[in-house]
Amino acid sequence: MAPVALFLAAAFFGAAAQDTQTYEVRLAAAPRDSAMREFVAGSGSAEVTLAGTELTVTGRFEGLKSAATQANIHLAPVTGVRGPAVYELEVSTASAGTISGVFELSDETLARLDAGHLYIQIDSDSAPEGNLWGWLLRTDR
């Protein structure tokens, strides 16, 4: 996204910062081929609420082929593309369980959230590069 657009998105978001925004996140298999179905599997969902600058995540997952090892919110360069982990979530270290976390977002991260660049990813023993993932996307557009 161009810097100007980022600035405008941030400015817009600053004005609406006191509003509450809810994201319903579908957690589905991270990129895999047919053979990887044996170790990259499962499903889940998360509800993400933004109140002011505070982001609250609660979710559940099931059906992993091995125990979850970590869960994070990642920051992508663009929607649909992998990016680095930026916020660590609490996660059940099992094949089914919950995720949760509360974070304070910077203005820049708020703008990136608004642009759809944040996603949740759960890793597991058998899928350390991503077992489930799901994108935080606004549905009111």
Check residue 16 and report its DSSP letter. Answer: T
C-alpha distances out from residue 62 to 24, 28, 44, 98, 136, Å:
17, 10, 6, 9, 19
Instruction: Using DSSP, state whether 79 is helix, strand or coil.
Output: coil
Q: Is 29 in the site for another protein (CB under 8 A)?
A: yes
Two tokens at 30?
């991270």
Rounded to a whole number of angstroms, the minimum distance from the CB of residue 61 to another protein is 12
Rounded to a whole number of angstroms, the minimum distance from the CB of residue 63 to another protein is 8
Nearest to another protein of 13, 133 (CB atom):
133
Query: What is the footprint of another protein within residues 42-101 (CB under 8 A)?
Result: 42-43, 63, 77-82
Two tokens at 93?
């270290």
Site of interaction with another protein (CB under 8 A): 26, 28-38, 41-43, 63, 77-82, 116, 119, 133, 135, 137
